Amino acid sequence: MAKNFKVSTYTNGEALYLKLRGDFDGISAHELLDMLKREGARYQKIFIDTGGMVDIHPFGVDVFKSYFDRLKGSSAEFVFTGENAARLAPNKAATLGLSISTVPPDAGSEKK
């Protein structure tokens, strides 16, 4: 795992919030996948905030997307947020029977 990769967690009812910080490599990807696998049955929604990610290695993204099928059968909805949401969110959710969405980083701000 990248030495500075960290996942902060908190819960609110039936939702789990994960804030990813630091560098994201292949081992970090496996750590995140393992956490999502463990928690996917316990929560209805899992929010994954990518705004604190610094150096995102293409290999780490490839590993994460390639092994996301480990979560098949999870009842949780995975919601990717933050500036790196579209980059990290897998695009094969429908074939896996998973619910995955992304929220653009400026979705909560009002434009004048």
49 inside domain: yes
Tell me how many domains the chain contains: 1
Structural domain harbouring 26: 6-102
Looking at residue 72, what is its pLDDT?
Answer: 81
pLDDT band at 92 (very low <50, low <70, confident <90, very high): low
pLDDT, one tens digit per residue, over 29-81 is: 999 999 999 888 889 999 999 999 999 999 999 999 989 888 887 788 899 99
For position 24, which CATH number holds?
3.30.750.24
41 inside domain: yes
Buried b (16+ CB within 10 A) or exposed e, 96-105: bebebebbeb
24 inside domain: yes
Which positions ≥6 away from 106 have C-beta within 8 Å? none
* Structure-model confidence comparison of residues 59 and 97, the more confident one: 59
Q: Taking all residues of the chain, what is their mean pLDDT, rounded to a whole number?
A: 85
31 inside domain: yes
pLDDT above 90 coverage of the chain, percent: 56
